[in-house]
Structures are given as structure tokens and as C-alpha cells.
Structure 1
């Protein structure tokens, strides 16, 4: 069984065993992502996936992983790196850089789903008919989303829409930016790795995230309040360079297929439930204030955000996504279907 090289900027270098394994492999693949190696996406998803690919190929494949903090771990470069062949496989945010996945971004619209499982299954069901044109040059291994996100703030507690007015809130995607603006906040585009320092220095007043970064990015240290709004989600891609995939021997392609797609999609819901738990626990341990959005306030937000949803879909249509409303209607139907299961 091959041992995999974990490429970290702070690492001392390759071990002799890993170097020998890389030399012995017929196929060396580079896999990059933007999250720290302590995050569950790295420890529960990326590392085991690479390990399983090596094992399935009987040592024919060796995978080098480049997480956030390494030369290939920039969140804004994941798509372009894999398209250019700088890396073979990448995991990234569909909203960064903005505008590259407009069809996929429909899942980010508010009040579609609260569940990573339903959102992920919806994305995967939408992909063949509606989303595939956005992934030219890429072999899509999975699309997924996180659990319903929260609004986390540093100094001011947010319970209502009125409390958000004027607050500078970090945003991960165009849809979430429009949502925050409609609620009275001032969205601030920013990669996740910069949020801690921005909060610490008072550059921003808060951020939207699910629970997991509160632990993995140590945000509990610089936050005091957490509104469990569960109004939105954010989507991610896990893709391979299409030419690289096509060049693989049949048996290796079969291994990639076995570990991806329909066999990978059902894992994200349970994984994200697991990843969120330590984030909430970290906030509780520090004595931070956790508030749940009331039913009455949720209804108020839903009404206030309907014009924003319409405006976003119109914007997509103006950008050439002629069937944006059809995609949105399908997403509504699919999330409702999956949330009942």
C-alpha cells in the first residue's frame, strides 16, 4: 500500500518511504484544495479518497495532496489550476472567483434547503441536464454543498433583519452577497482563510459560514454571537482535468469512477453533520451567544428576500442562462423531495 505525500508549506519534506512510493508508481496525480489539513474535508474526504484510489489501483497511482496554505492551495485558483493541468484534481468553491458557475450558483439562493444532504443530492441530480455546460474541460467527480449556514458576528448580536443593517459581513458568493444586501448588511468578498484576521482587526463585523469553520479556522476566538439562521448554503466542486482522466488506463479510470459520483454523493450529508459539531462545541466552550432565528422572523426574511431571488434569476438570464428559472424550479422540487427522505 502506497504512502501518500502531504505537501505542506511547513512540512520538513518528503519521507523516504513516501518518496520511494512516488517513484514506484506509474501514475502520479496532484490534488489540491483550499482548506487547512485539520478540516474534515481534508481528513475525512480528500485523504481517504486519495488513499482508496491508490489501493484500488494496486499501487499504480500515487496522489500528492496540496491543501490550503501550500503553493497550490489558493481558493481562487482551484478551477484554473485543474483546467491548465497544473494539478490533476481540485476541490474548490463555485463562488470564488465569481461568475464562473452561474447555473450551479442557483443552489446558493436563500430558503432552498437547510441540509447538506438535500443540497448535494439536488446538485448532482441537476448536473447532467442543467449544470454540465459549466464544466467544459473538467470531469466532475462530485458537486456538494454545506448545511444551512449561520450569521456570525463579532460585537453586535443579530436576532432580526434590522440588526444586520450596516454590518460588514464576509460573503462567499454573488447570491449570498445579494441576500445580505437585501437584508441591510454590507457584503465583503473575502476568501475563508482571511476571515480570522479581518475579524480580529475589525475590518469586518461578521461572516456567513456553517458551523465547521468556527473550529477549523479558530473563529470562535474572534466571534461572540452566532445566529442559527439556516437560510442559505454554498456549493463546492470536486473535479479532474478531462484530458488527464481520459489518458488514464481503463482500470484506473474504473477506480476513479468507483470512488466518485453516485458512490460519493451520499457521504456529504453525514460528513457535514460531523464537521459542524466541533464548530458549535467550540463556540459553546468559549461562552459565545447562540441564537436561533425565530419562525416569525424567518417568515419576514422569506418575504423580504423574494424580490432578491427574482432579481438574481433575472441577472442570470441577462448573462445568458436562459433557463435560470427552470433550474431554480427544479432545484426547489428536488430539495423538497430529498428533505422528505
Structure 2
């Protein structure tokens, strides 16, 4: 039987993951391999320069400092697992860690919705310290994730610049009311819910298909982070960016909680140091360096019209988001949801 490259990678990586769970002796004599091997994944491709900066740095840190304690097998670009396969693979112990966009898994892990809650993301973006390692909100998230036997090593030190509304010239969105009735590419549940009041036709399509969808008129607009715009060259297809902060996300490394708790001291120390580097560098590098110095200039070079929202639109949108808050609090629990929102807004 001929194996495809993807099947071969899966076979190899799952066997390696088995070694990390059962011990090096699972695959070879103990004396032949002293280090524990960790298998990690991300579905993001290197074309997402900003979003993969952190995962690349994290993995390189482990490789540079693991010595004879820890080795890493890492697969990007969905080589090993697609986006929707990562969390099940982690839970089934076929991989040891994953990098995932928080917005993608809020349906499975509702507490992560706080990182993309409309009306909250603007505050989290302006105050990244509220989500850094050791902050009350970070610890609260991990308390909830522990109930699912999951552990977020770091949020990356905050959230990325919020997702805005990007549209084509023929269906330009220059105000909140302009989005009414439009066909909008949107991924997160939180963003979809927030825009329901404007009768949008929500279209959920992979980012890899958005270029053609905009070109062909399959969608009129999309809710995008600027990393998606540049990573998929969408600045060539959109003409207007309405900078209303709709939702947000981070890219975070996750492990199983019991896997983390069972680590030997040396392995945990190396992972803690890598996570500390990630927390101190990922979000700040994206928001303060790559975005303003590389990505937004590329958008402006394509003559994309950039429009700031009016105070009236900000107030109207924030008012509409309370319905989304109520729904989210119903999922995570009223008391927990209130506490998380107050921490995110700096009210507790």
C-alpha cells in the first residue's frame, strides 16, 4: 500500500507522541534515546508571518534549550492535522501540544469567548496586561479549562488587533448601517451573533477561499484580522476597511492539564521558559511591529480606504453586543461570565 505524505506524517508523529506518553522505551531501547519527544502542530502556514512568529519562536526555544531533556517534532500548515482535527487529537493524546486561534474553538471551549467578545475586545487590545500570564483573567480561564483537562500555557500576552469589516467597492461598508443585508464572511460565533441585528447573510468559508469569494461576489465583505488580509493577499480584492472592532482572538499553545502536571521538573522548566518568551513577545511583536510597520503600509499601497467608526456607531454596536454577552454568560455561567467581563474591562 502506498502512503501519502500526510498519512506518513500522521503515522510518524502519532508514534512519536506515543513515545512521549509511554516513555522512550515504547519505540526503542531506553539507552538509545534519553530525551522526551513532544509532538506539536499548527494549521497556520508560514505566509501568516505575524501569526506564526510566536509558534516558530516557541518551538525554536525548545529545540535550542531542550538538550537531552526534550525534543520536538513540529508540523505547521496543517501538514499533520487540519484546524478542526487539532483539539480532538490533543484530547486523544495523539499530539502533545497545539497552537490554535482562540476564536476557532470557542464553541468547544466557551470560556475562550472572552478573548473575542464584542464590546470587550477593544479594551483587551488596549490593555494586554489583563490577559498576560499570572493575571486574574488568565488564571480564571485556566481554572475553567482545567475542567476540560486542558491548559493554556500563555495567551501570547494579550489579543491581536481586533477584526474589522473589510468590503469591496461595489458593496462598500463605511458605516454600521451599510452592513445591513450584506453577504459577510465571518467565522467566530461571537461576531456572527453581534451582527445578526443587521440582517447580514453570514457566510462561513475558509480563509483560503476568501480571495475568490470576494472576486466573484460570493461575499460582499468580511470580518478579518489584518493578518488574514495580508496572509491571503485580500488587500487586492477589498477597497474599504471600516475599523469597527467586531471581535478578536489570540493564537495560544495548549496542552492537556494532566500531561502538564505529570511533567518532570526539567521538561516543565523548559516549557515554562518558552511560554514566558511567547507571552512577552508574540502579541507585542504583531501589534506594535509587524502590523504598523509592514502590514498596514501594504494595505495603504493598494489604496484601500480606511475609515474610523463614528462615536454613534461605536455606541450602537456596543449596545447591541449585550445580547451576545448574555448568551455567552448563559454558556459559561452568569457569575463566571460577569467576573470575566469585569476583569477584561478593568472593573475588578
Structure 1 position 280 matched with structure 2 position 296: yes
Distance of 2:343 and 2:261 partners within structure 1: 31
Instruction: Determine the structure 1 residue equivalent to 2:110.
Output: 102
Aligned 8 A contact 2:113 2:328 in 1: no
For 1:138 and 1:228, locate their aligned partners in 2 and report how far apart those are by CA, in whole Å: 34
Deviations 1:85-127 (A, max 9, x none): 2221111122324522222212322332437754643234213
Pairing partner for 2:322 from 304, 310, 315: 310
Distance in 2 (CA, whole Å) between partners of 1:160 and 1:117 is 22
1:193 maps to which of 208, 228, 241? 208
Report the CA distance shift for 1:152/1:42 in structure 2 as closer, same or farther (over 3 A).
closer
Asked if 1:132 is matched to 2:168, the reply is: no
Q: Secondary structure at the match of 1:227?
A: strand
Q: Tell whether the 8 Å contact from 1:150 to 1:229 is kept in structure 2 after alignment.
A: yes
Q: 1:113 to 1:99 in 2, by over 3 A?
A: closer
What are the within-5 Å matches in structure 2 for residues 1-341 of structure 1? 26-41=35-50, 43-72=52-81, 74-114=82-122, 118=126, 120-124=128-132, 125=135, 126-135=137-146, 136-143=148-155, 144-155=158-169, 156-261=171-276, 263-273=277-287, 274-277=289-292, 278-293=294-309, 297-306=310-319, 308-323=320-335, 324-333=337-346
**With structure 1 as the length reference, what TM-score do the two structures score?**
0.80
Q: Which has the higher helix share?
A: 2
- Taking the aligned partners of 2:55 and 2:161, their CA distance within structure 1 comes to 19
Contact 2:165–2:241 (Cα < 8 Å) also in 1: yes
Secondary structure of 1:38 counterpart: coil
Q: Is the 8 A contact 2:168 2:238 kept in 1?
A: yes
Q: Is the contact between residue 75 and residue 191 of structure 1 (CA under 8 Å) also seen in structure 2? A: no
Q: Determine the C-alpha separation between the residues in 1 that align with 2:177 and 2:138.
A: 37
Give 1:176 deviation, angstroms: 0.8
For residues 81 and 298 of structure 1, the distance between their equivalents in structure 2, rounded to whole angstroms, comes to: 45
Shift of 1:256: 0.4
Report the Cα offset of residue 239 of structure 1.
0.8
State the distance in 1 between where 2:150 and 2:117 align.
25
When residues 250 and 333 of structure 1 are mapped into structure 2, their CA distance, relative to the original with a 3 A threshold, is: same
Structural RMSD (CA): 3.0
Q: Which runs of 5+ in 1 are unaligned?
A: 1-6, 15-22
Counterpart for residue 15 of structure 2: none
CA contact (8 A) 2:38 2:72 kept: yes
Structure 2: segments with no counterpart, 5+ residues: 13-31
